Structure 1
């Protein structure tokens, strides 16, 4: 049975803090399918749909995985060789921490764009363009780009980037930073510039805008952005966020729950660069209505129309496995 969650959600534009009081309320229905555990895919953190097929990367796995609708592995492509532990995970000291993935067009073809988190200098500052047939691959240092993001995000001292999500919407790219060291931030870039950076044609982007995001707190810990996707018909970004009892971007903490929600694209066009999602985030709940203790890392939309999207969520619960859920999200 799908677990149905109904919450009040602020309408389009209301998520921008300055305008929240002037908007009507609508309801958002979330339905979750049963948990599906995949013990052969370690620490899934990025998820993309291509038709009915799903593609995933893990933060301590060297592979790009192709999955079917039952979340079984059908194929895998080695992104890069790394020293591995006995249980098949990349040694933590050198793991590239693949955390964000989306599909982009380059040279009139679809490519997977995979980004490291940037939470450890050099080691986690690598990105990849991988052709959909996996026969071509471009590796690119993200250090210059991440230096730009670091400065634009106002990071100081020991604060670290922790890039967790990537969404491509029309001519823009949105990069999500998880706020467990610096802040919850969304960086908006020109999509073409990001692709040109990845293929080595430029070393800096000229169009970069930063939005701060406020999310709900659980037990005193604010949720952190963990993934994003573009809902074409809804003209919105769909985001995921999760809560860990940790204050840095390197070490894991106790998992306290996860959220999902929407950010209309027009929220990124105004002068206000703060987006308040504290009353608009939908908590993932179990059948008893209690917080589902899972760390959702990414979302993929498989089908959509103006009222509803459906697809898959994936969680990395820090135990070397990956937990998948089918979902439906509907405007009521």
Structure 2
């Protein structure tokens, strides 16, 4: 059992439903599942810069997008100088991927409908049980984390070889069993790769729907071996928070620190970022 400590790292006005994080030097990048912006928060001077990544004229970039219309960006994945922002795929209008270059600021859109349909077929997962909440890209392999909060509880990882996610070939699916709370299995909400180890967060939520929210029963942090995809450990970190984003902060003195963000499932444009310290 790993001991953990959770504390507030920052409170940021202007961001709602935070679902993904990435820290580079003093810039904390935050994505919300109902926003047309990528948020860039300067940790040093507490300044927030909004980078528009969706250019649909019908979307108001300064406000929350209605649930039925939102892109549901649940994934903020980093590889070298690129951020990959993925929709969850839980409805037909949530299949977009944004490729954002941190240096050039270039934005490229990709439609993942074909890829998502292919991996659903491979894993025999229907639309009501498909919900991508995390991703890792190693440069040669994509890992997509399906949150198994649908009726069939398909919690697991899609493995897709190659650099180009849009041309997925021969995907595979590995079922992952996570801890239960009150007979409800916790399900993936995000994951990152650190030193060839997958660190993930997961939440137990009392719902059988990838669309409708339920009561939060608790959240975990854990790790999975990258080579074997076997669960190393899972530790409960909260009874009430629904954490949806994780990124690495630092490691020192046998401790590792992460930043977490939570989705409060409200319309409030305010986000709390947490620091999680874990003894190794």
Given the alignment of the two structures, is residue 144 of structure 1 paired with residue 114 of structure 2, yes or no? yes
Alignment CA distance shift 1:167-1:304 (3 Å): farther
State the match for 1:208 in structure 2.
171
Preserved contact between residue 259 and residue 274 of structure 2 (Cα < 8 Å): yes
Match of 1:262 among 205, 209, 223: 223
Given the alignment of the two structures, is residue 319 of structure 1 paired with residue 266 of structure 2, yes or no? yes
State the match for 2:181 in structure 1.
218
User: Which runs of 5 or more residues in structure 2 are unaligned?
Assistant: none
Match of 2:27 among 53, 56, 62: 53
Structure 1 segment 27-46 matched on structure 2, within 5 A: 28-34=2-8, 36-46=10-20
Preserved contact between residue 36 and residue 71 of structure 1 (Cα < 8 Å): no
Given the alignment of the two structures, is residue 162 of structure 1 paired with residue 131 of structure 2, yes or no? yes
Given the alignment of the two structures, is residue 69 of structure 1 paired with residue 48 of structure 2, yes or no? no
State the match for 1:3 in structure 2.
none
Structure 1 segment 263-282 matched on structure 2, within 5 A: 263-268=224-229, 275=230, 280-282=233-235
- Count of aligned positions: 275
Q: Between Structure 1 and Structure 2, whose CA radius of gyration is higher?
A: 1
Structure 1 segment 81-160 matched on structure 2, within 5 A: 81=55, 83=58, 88-105=63-80, 110-121=81-92, 123-133=93-103, 135-156=105-126, 159-160=128-129
Alignment CA distance shift 1:101-1:162 (3 Å): same
Paired with 2:128 and 2:234, the residues of 1 have a C-alpha distance of: 26
* TM-superposed deviation, 1:208: 2.2
Preserved contact between residue 231 and residue 304 of structure 1 (Cα < 8 Å): no
Paired with 1:306 and 1:146, the residues of 2 have a C-alpha distance of: 42
State the match for 1:288 in structure 2.
none
Given the alignment of the two structures, is residue 179 of structure 1 paired with residue 148 of structure 2, yes or no? yes
* Aligned residues: CA RMSD: 2.5
Alignment CA distance shift 1:71-1:118 (3 Å): farther
Paired with 2:143 and 2:112, the residues of 1 have a C-alpha distance of: 15
* TM-superposed deviation, 1:93: 1.4
TM-score, structure 2 length as denominator? Answer: 0.89
* TM-superposed deviation, 1:189: 1.9
Preserved contact between residue 19 and residue 245 of structure 2 (Cα < 8 Å): yes
Paired with 1:264 and 1:306, the residues of 2 have a C-alpha distance of: 22
User: Which runs of 5 or more residues in structure 1 are unaligned?
Assistant: 1-7, 9-27, 198-203, 269-274, 286-290
* TM-superposed deviation, 1:68: 3.1
Preserved contact between residue 51 and residue 302 of structure 1 (Cα < 8 Å): no
* TM-superposed deviation, 1:229: 0.6
State the match for 1:200 in structure 2.
none
* TM-superposed deviation, 1:62: 0.9
* TM-superposed deviation, 1:307: 4.5
* TM-superposed deviation, 1:53: 2.1
* TM-superposed deviation, 1:257: 1.5
